[in-house]
Amino acid sequence: MRGTRKAAGVALTLAAALTLAACGGGGEEEPAAGGDTAAEEGGEGGAGGEGLTIGIKFDQPGLGLKEGDEYTGFDVDVAKYVAEKLGYSEDQIEFTEAVSAQRETLLENGSVDMIFATYSITDDRKERVAFAGPYFVAGQDLLVRADDEDIQGPEDLEGKILCSVSGSTSAQRVKDEYAAGTQLQEYQGYSECVESLAAGTVDAVTTDDIILAGLAAQPQYEGQLKVVGNPFSEERYGVGLPQENDQCEDINAAIQEMIDDGTWEELIAKNAGENYTPDPDLNPPTEFEACA
Ligand code: GLU
Instruction: Give the pLDDT band of residue 180 (cuts 50, 70, 90).
Output: confident
Which position has the higher pLDDT, 9 or 134? 134
Of the candidates 123, 134, 125, the residue with the CA atom closest to the CA atom of residue 105: 125
Alpha carbon distance 242, 104 (integer Å): 8
The 3-state DSSP class for residue 33 equals coil
Rg (alpha carbons) of the chain, rounded to whole number: 18
- Say what the pLDDT of residue 225 is: 98
Pick the atom of ligand 1 nearest to 169's CA.
Answer: 10
pTM of the model: 0.84
Pick the atom of ligand 1 nearest to 170's CA.
Answer: 5
- Average pLDDT for residues 104-122, to the nearest whole number? 98
Does the C-beta of 120 come closer than 6 Å to ligand 1? yes
Domains of the chain: 50-138+235-272 (3.40.190.10), 140-227 (3.40.190.10)
- Say what the pLDDT of residue 292 is: 77
- Average pLDDT for residues 69-91, to the nearest whole number? 97
10 Å Cβ neighbour count for 217? 18
Ligand 1 pocket: which of 165, 174, 205 to mutate (most atoms within 8 A of CB)? 165
* Ligand 1 centroid from CA 219, angstroms: 24
Q: Answer whether residue 48 shows pLDDT above 90.
A: no
Q: Answer whether residue 21 shows pLDDT above 50.
A: no
**Whose alpha carbon is nearest atom 5 of ligand 1?**
168
Q: Answer whether residue 7 shows pLDDT above 60.
A: no
Q: Answer whether residue 112 shows pLDDT above 90.
A: yes
Does the C-beta of 271 come closer than 6 Å to ligand 1? no
Which position has the higher pLDDT, 255 or 273? 255
Pick the atom of ligand 1 nearest to 100's CA.
Answer: 8
- Say what the pLDDT of residue 276 is: 96
Instruction: Give the pLDDT band of residue 173 (cuts 50, 70, 90).
Output: very high
- The tens digit of pLDDT for each residue in 235-248 reads 999 999 999 999 99
| Cβ–Cβ under 8 Å, residues 2 and 113 | yes
Instruction: Give the pLDDT band of residue 50 (cuts 50, 70, 90).
Output: confident
* Ligand 1 centroid from CA 47, angstroms: 34
Alpha carbon distance 61, 211 (integer Å): 8
- Say what the pLDDT of residue 1 is: 55
Q: Spell out the long-range contacts of 243-249 with Cβ–Cβ below 8 A and sequence spacing 24 or more.
A: 243/8, 243/12, 243/128, 243/129, 243/130, 243/292, 244/5, 244/8, 244/12, 245/5, 245/130, 247/86, 247/114, 247/132, 248/130, 248/131, 248/132, 248/289, 248/291, 248/292, 249/132, 249/291
**Whose alpha carbon is nearest atom 10 of ligand 1?**
168
Which position has the higher pLDDT, 11 or 171? 171
Pick the atom of ligand 1 nearest to 237's CA.
Answer: 1
Separation of first and last alpha carbons in the chain: 20
* Ligand 1 centroid from CA 214, angstroms: 14
Kindly give, in sequence order, each residue whose CB lies less than 8 Å from that of residue 267, ignoring residues fewer than 6 positions away: 74, 77, 78, 81, 258
Kindly give, in sequence order, each residue whose CB lies less than 8 Å from that of residue 268, ignoring residues fewer than 6 positions away: 74, 278, 283
Instruction: Give the pLDDT band of residue 47 (cuts 50, 70, 90).
Output: very low
Does the C-beta of 191 come closer than 6 Å to ligand 1? no
- Say what the pLDDT of residue 91 is: 94
